[in-house]
Amino acid sequence: MDGLLLFAHGARDPLWARPFHAVEARVRAARPGLPMVLAYLEFMQPELETAAHQLAEQGCTRIHIVPMFLGTGGHVRRDIPPMLERLQSHYGERIEWLLHPALGEQDRVLQAMTDASLAWLDASPPVQQEPS
């Protein structure tokens, strides 16, 4: 059984997580029976390893880890691999861990950010130029 682990950075301000909770709610609405956990790198709970254990306890044998980052920076390259190594060591071959690219590097996300940026221009009233 597949599980989904959405993985965000985390912040001290709980309001920061609102967009991630919105994504979590939309995924749950689209796939009501899918085992899923939203986890954080720091400042917020649960952390990645705790979330992974929760999915394993639900019987997941393949867990998709989706970094909800704009790019594959140091956290994705440096911080996640040792966590996955610990999980692989703990669970052996009972669970397959699939680390996907950062969301911000996917074409659909890039297009959505482009469209949202351009929408601000389209929604703004034209700037009136004073006659010279």
Q: How far apart are CA 12 and CA 4, in angstroms?
A: 24
CB atoms within 10 A of CB 12: 8
Q: What is the DSSP string of 7-19?
A: EE---SSGGGGHH
CB atoms within 10 A of CB 102: 20
What pLDDT score does 70 carry? Answer: 92
What pLDDT score does 126 carry? Answer: 64
Q: How far apart are CA 71 and CA 77, in angstroms?
A: 10
What pLDDT score does 77 carry? Answer: 85
Q: How far apart are CA 24 and CA 43, in angstroms?
A: 18
- Choose among 99, 112, 104: nearest CA to 70: 104
Residues 6+ apart with CB under 8 A from 123: none
Task: DSSP letter for 92, please.
Answer: G
What is the value of pTM for the model shown?
0.88
pLDDT tens across the length of the chain (132 residues): 999 999 999 999 999 999 999 999 999 999 999 999 999 999 999 999 999 999 999 999 999 999 999 988 877 888 899 999 999 999 999 999 999 999 999 999 999 999 999 999 988 666 666 666
What pLDDT score does 74 carry? Answer: 78
Q: Could you identify the residue written with the tokens 């920061």?
A: 16
One-letter amino acid for residue 107 of the chain: D
